[in-house]
Amino acid sequence: MNAHDESCKSSWPVLAARVGVLLPLTSLDSTAVSFLQDEGVQGTWFSACSGGADSVLSTLLAFAHFPDRQEAFTVAHFNHCLRGEASNGDEAFVRSFAEGLGVSFASTRGKGTAVDEASLREERLTFLSQVTAGHKAAILLQGHQRDDISETFLWRLARGAGLAGLAAPRPVRRSGNIVFVRPLLSISRAEVRRILQSVGATWREDDSNTSPIYLRNRLRMGTMDAWCKDVDREVGVGTFRSRRLLEEADDALEQWANNAWLECFEENILKVHALTRFPIALRRKLIARWLHETVPGRFIESNNLDYLLDALEQGERFKTNLSSNLWVETDCKHLSVVKELPPLCAWSPVALPEHARLFLPEGGSLIWQAESLSPKGFASIAAGQVKPGEQAFLSEDTVPAAKLFVRKRQPGDRFNHLGAPGERKLKDVFIDKKIGTHLRDKLPVIVSESNEILWVPGLPPAEKAKLIESSARVIRLTYTRSLT
């Protein structure tokens, strides 16, 4: 069916009844269905609908199988405003879809500036939180299907995710007043489209879903395609089962951690002797819960957490930062969160640890990662698709990755950045780039072992570290400004 955005020939309630017959509750994810039947009656229902096939089918099935919820049902749509008339067409389609079902419709529009996957997801979640605000229990239906499990697994595996991360997306996930429910996890992407086509339902196609800019698309069109061709069984069926087993294991650890909690916790600290009697996997859970209860919203970077766990195992002192003034510290007897105000005086240069976020005394943080450079990646960087205030890419051929340091600016600093006629005073470069005096002493200066400036956020990287088309490896530096 090519004209997915044409009007349906039959009314949406009729189409909902048809898909309900083709996909009875027994064919949907059993955990999601059990929740909706047992606990869903207590909440107000919302359906996150982009207009795509997955979310359209999820909405139709909820309408068909839970008729008693139709009067308290809202279809929610977020317009990212990234594709011009196509984005507006999506919004109009979903509005008409909701009206056809006779349910409420809620929508809003983004600024059309965010392009990376994390920012786009954050925009949608913020909108959904606003839509569900004021409801003690909000049931939010999402259209994730079985193929999403495989893609998410590959995505998170490359990031070094643990049990909880690899068990995503879960059929039921609680977050504050919202319960995210995904009934389609047992249905493949192809089956979703086959069902909709068979009943004559329409949906919207988002052209950006085939863009190689986004990692998930590259995984879907490249890695997933090769994986499915190379194995002798259906990948989706296997990853569906594996995800469930990982969730079961993670839930078991959570239950064990709950039982061990009182042994380890005492007046906002963790007792190291009690903590280290448990396996490392359980220590991770206990530390995560301790931070959630002690300093909500603060997390240890994954690599820093590994270093902390190593120190606990070896019985060594260790200290790592949560922010510019919050630290997790162990004295071999207790694990505690301590607060230290940023120093007013200058601080000495420090080495940048690989893959671990370094929080800076004046606020903000830095992280660097060494990675391969593809031709597409080089073209994107060469075309200027980099925010100089947030990121810089250095050639690993000319800058040894293990020899990166960060410091404050110093009197007499000179810098030869990309595009400059030569080396100049850093102060003059700041003036030319209109970087105010109130920011100059807060910006970190990334230098080599010989104290040569390689990058300052807001400026291009050093000429000596520039990438060339034959560059195979790059150092990606990311600076996150403080909100204060």
- Report pLDDT for 9: 46
What is the Cα–Cα distance from 54 to 63, expressed in whole angstroms? Answer: 14
Mean pLDDT throughout 87-91? 95
Domain end marker among 163, 192, 210: 210
What is the Cα–Cα distance from 389 to 364, expressed in whole angstroms? Answer: 12
What is the Cα–Cα distance from 258 to 260, expressed in whole angstroms? Answer: 5
CA distances from 325 to 82, 299, 359 (A): 38, 13, 9
Q: How many helices (H) and strands (E) does the chain have?
A: 17, 21
Task: Give which of 276, 403, 297, 426 is closest to 351, Cα–Cα.
Answer: 403
Determine, yes or no, domain membership for 236: no
Q: Which DSSP category does 443 fall into?
A: S
pLDDT in tens, 397-413: 777 655 788 998 988 89
- Report pLDDT for 65: 97
> Do 24 and 102 fall into the same domain?
yes
pLDDT greater than 50 at residue 4: no
pLDDT greater at residue 116 or residue 94 = 94
What is the Cα–Cα distance from 91 to 93, expressed in whole angstroms? Answer: 5
- Report pLDDT for 363: 77
Domain, as residue range, for 90: 12-210
Task: Give which of 390, 354, 375 is closest to 468, Cα–Cα.
Answer: 375
Determine, yes or no, domain membership for 215: no
Tokens describing residue 220: 């879907």
Environment class of 106 (CB within 10 Å of its CB; exposed 0-12, middle 13-18, buried 19+): middle
- Report pLDDT for 6: 47
Task: Give which of 82, 83, 127, 84 is closest to 107, Cα–Cα.
Answer: 127
Mean pLDDT estimate for the chain: 89
> Do 335 and 378 fall into the same domain?
no
> Do 331 and 375 fall into the same domain?
no
> Do 194 and 286 fall into the same domain?
no
- Report pLDDT for 337: 94
pLDDT greater than 60 at residue 342: no
Determine, yes or no, domain membership for 225: no
Domain end marker among 275, 305, 339: 339
What is the Cα–Cα distance from 285 to 278, expressed in whole angstroms? Answer: 11
CA distances from 242 to 169, 247, 248 (A): 12, 9, 10
Determine, yes or no, domain membership for 344: no
The CATH number of the domain holding residue 281 is: 3.30.465
- Report pLDDT for 470: 79
- The answer to whether the peptide bond before residue 169 is cis (omega within 30 degrees of 0) is yes
Number of other CB atoms surrounding residue 333 within 10 Å? 10
The CATH number of the domain holding residue 161 is: 3.40.50.620
pLDDT in tens, 430-459: 988 888 777 888 899 999 888 899 999 999
The three-point CA angle 28-31-34 to 5° equals: 90
* Domain count across the chain: 3
- Report pLDDT for 3: 42
> Do 163 and 19 fall into the same domain?
yes
Place of tokens 């400059």: 420
CA distances from 191 to 32, 188, 198, 355, 478 (A): 18, 5, 10, 40, 41
Determine, yes or no, domain membership for 4: no
The answer, as to whether pTM is greater than 0.85, is no
> Do 392 and 424 fall into the same domain?
yes
> Do 398 and 278 fall into the same domain?
no
Task: Give which of 184, 202, 200 is closest to 147, Cα–Cα.
Answer: 184
pLDDT in tens, 278-315: 999 999 999 999 999 999 988 888 888 999 999 999 99
- Report pLDDT for 401: 57
Task: State the angle between helix axes of 85-101 and 53-65 in degrees (0 to 180), rounded to the nearest 10.
Answer: 10
Number of other CB atoms surrounding residue 339 within 10 Å? 10
pLDDT greater at residue 44 or residue 213 = 44
Confidence of residue 343 (pLDDT cuts 50, 70, 90): low
pLDDT greater than 60 at residue 2: no
pLDDT greater at residue 344 or residue 90 = 90
Q: Which of the residue ranges 66-70, 117-121, 470-474 has the most confident prediction, judged by mean pLDDT? A: 66-70
- Report pLDDT for 8: 60
Contact predicate 209/217, CB 8 Å: yes
What is the Cα–Cα distance from 223 to 229, expressed in whole angstroms? Answer: 10
The CATH number of the domain holding residue 425 is: 3.50.40.10
- Report pLDDT for 46: 97
Tokens describing residue 327: 């630290």
In DSSP notation, 90-124 reads: HHHHHHHHHHHHT-EEEEEE--S---SHHHHHHHH
Contact predicate 63/108, CB 8 Å: no
- Report pLDDT for 333: 94
- Report pLDDT for 10: 58
pLDDT in tens, 344-392: 456 778 888 777 788 888 778 898 888 887 888 778 787 777 787 788 8
Confidence of residue 484 (pLDDT cuts 50, 70, 90): low
Confidence of residue 5 (pLDDT cuts 50, 70, 90): very low
